[in-house]
Amino acid sequence: MLSLRGALVLGVAVALAVPPVLAGQVKVGSQPDFAPDTPIIVQRGNGNGNGNGNGNGNGGGNGNSGGNAGGNGNSGGNAGGNSGANNSNAGGSNQNPNSNSSPSSARQPRNYMGQVTVSAGGQVISGNVRIQSNSPWLSLAIPGMWLEATGVWEGEVFVASEIKLHSPVPWAFYQGPASLVGASQYQFVSAWLSNNRNDPFMALRAASEQTQVRVVAYFDGNKFRALPASFPVPPGLKPGWYELMGSIGAQGLVWSSVKPFP
């Protein structure tokens, strides 16, 4: 039989020879599972973006894509801007300030930037945020455009005092007889036209009978972008966004009203 001293020495040797597998397994098993980061679809906050979209020259940056970032996009307007030109919330707070701010700070003007996902029935939604505004630009927003707004949060609704739209391609809005824009399957349409003659419609909706033709388009000093070449150009226009009202008669399309938009 082993002496007491020999037994103790043997026990220590066996303990040192056995690897700490059990301890390692417990340590690994106690770690939490890590889910991959999900992409941010809509950002909220105060970040002020750079570059008002398009090189359509005038105004607040709603220009036609391909413009000069940092240029003053099309007058106040919209969509033609460089999509993504204004990542206005990058670096800003992505939280609705109403959730953790005092009433006075929650009413301070905020900047919002997001992509339009729904535009129907008079409602415009960007991600999970509903946008409200009296700006005429909001009624021209369609899915795929980027919306830049200045305003305040009211609950989960962003109430904007200023709206700019940015689009990846130059565009124009048309409402009137479908035949003028080649949409022969309809009688009257609301159409968002692009400068791609192989795919001219960014969006196309059937409309009720129109007594007048309505157009919102950007004039670049030579022509209206994205409109058919057959549409007449009133003399004396400076570059900028315009709203034109007209009718079709014996002489074709004749404008009765031309004014800056909005």
Domain ranges of the chain: 43-166, 171-260
Could you identify the residue written with the tokens 């036609």? 64
Q: Which one-letter amino acid corresponds to residue 117?
A: T
* pLDDT band with cut points at 50, 70 and 90 for residue 96: low
Write down the mean pLDDT value for the chain: 72
Question: What are the pLDDT digits (tens) for 131-174?
Answer: 999 999 999 999 999 999 999 999 999 999 999 999 999 999 99
Residues 6+ apart with CB under 8 A from 212: 176, 245, 246, 247, 256
Question: Lowest-confidence range among 25-39, 103-117, 169-183?
Answer: 25-39
pLDDT for 198: 86
Please say whether the beta carbons of 73 and 54 come within 8 A.
yes
Sheet holding 213-219, edge to edge: 201-206, 188-194, 171-177, 213-219, 240-249, 252-260
pTM: 0.64
Which CA distances in Å does 193 have to 124, 141, 170? Answer: 19, 13, 8
